Amino acid sequence: MFITFEGIEGCGKTTQVNKLKEYFESQGKDVLVTLEPGGSRLGKTLRKILLSMESQDLTKEAELFLYLADRAQHVEQVIRPALARGQIVISDRYADSTIVYQGYGRGLDPQTLHSFNEIATKDLWPDLTILLDLPVEIGLKRAVTRNIQKKLTKDEGRFEAESIKFHNRVREGYLTWAALNKNRFVIVDATGEIDEIFTQILNKVTSFEEKRVEGVSNQI
């Protein structure tokens, strides 16, 4: 099973990814947690370029193709092999991030970006995508505070430095894209406490697993 987490800056993805990993492992399942950008050897180098404040001169097209390169390597070297081993893969961001950030956020065509992602991933899409949704002001405050505490403002602060208008376009883009892909997207209110949010996620994941089992049973 391939699960991805999406959302605006500061929505709490990383925390919830780790909690879901712990839950699955408590059930005796083998789990791989990964992220984008940076999930592969090449990706670690691309992450430094993409998130650094020194890269504010990147054109939207250059930004796009760097993300696609990161994803192509990530899928080939990390995600597909893990799925082939029977692991559950949980990724902190994936192809939907590019469609939303570079599409709805930067103004590139989302359908064209979807096609590019199909090439980069060889048509590998998640079974389930969890969108953590919350107001932009709350998310940015969390993200900026996190970067200051971890001293990442310079190395990973490029998107946090974008305008409120950009982040609002991204949030609305996520909600629009989720509505267009209801077959795999679930939306979770990320404004509450960590455990409250995880309870929502666990309910969504459990429901998805039950439907998946029912689907397999109906095919037998």
What pLDDT, on a 0 to 100 scale, did the predictor assign at position 215?
Answer: 63
Would 213 be classed as within a structural domain?
Answer: no
pLDDT at position 217 is: 47
> Does 216 reside within a domain?
no
In a domain, 208, yes or no: no
Question: Measured between alpha carbons, how far is 82 from 1 in angstroms, rounded to an integer?
Answer: 10
- Check which CATH number belongs to the domain holding 183 and give it: 3.40.50.300
Residue 149 resides in a domain: yes
Domain count, the chain: 1
Let me know if residue 214 belongs to a domain.
no
Q: Could you tell me which residues come within 8 angstroms of residue 104 by beta carbon, excluding any fewer than 6 positions away?
A: 110, 169, 170, 172, 173, 174, 176, 177
Residue 99 lies in a domain: yes
**pLDDT by position in tens, the chain (length 220):** 999 999 999 999 999 999 999 999 999 999 999 999 999 999 999 999 999 999 999 999 999 999 999 999 999 999 999 999 999 999 999 999 999 999 999 999 999 999 999 999 999 999 999 999 999 999 988 888 887 887 877 777 788 888 999 999 999 999 999 999 999 999 999 999 999 999 999 999 999 988 877 665 445 4
Structure tokens at 114: 């979807």
End-to-end CA distance of the chain: 19
pLDDT, one tens digit per residue, over 4-13 is 999 999 999 9
Confirm whether 212 is domain-assigned.
no
* CA gyration radius, the chain: 17
* Global pTM value: 0.92
Q: What is the pLDDT of residue 216?
A: 52
The residue range of the domain holding 91 is 2-203
Of the candidates 82, 217, 188, the residue with the CA atom closest to the CA atom of residue 129: 188
Q: What is the DSSP string of 37-73?
A: S-SSHHHHHHHHHHH-GGGTT--HHHHHHHHHHHHHH
Return d(Cα 170, Cα 38) in angstroms, integer: 21
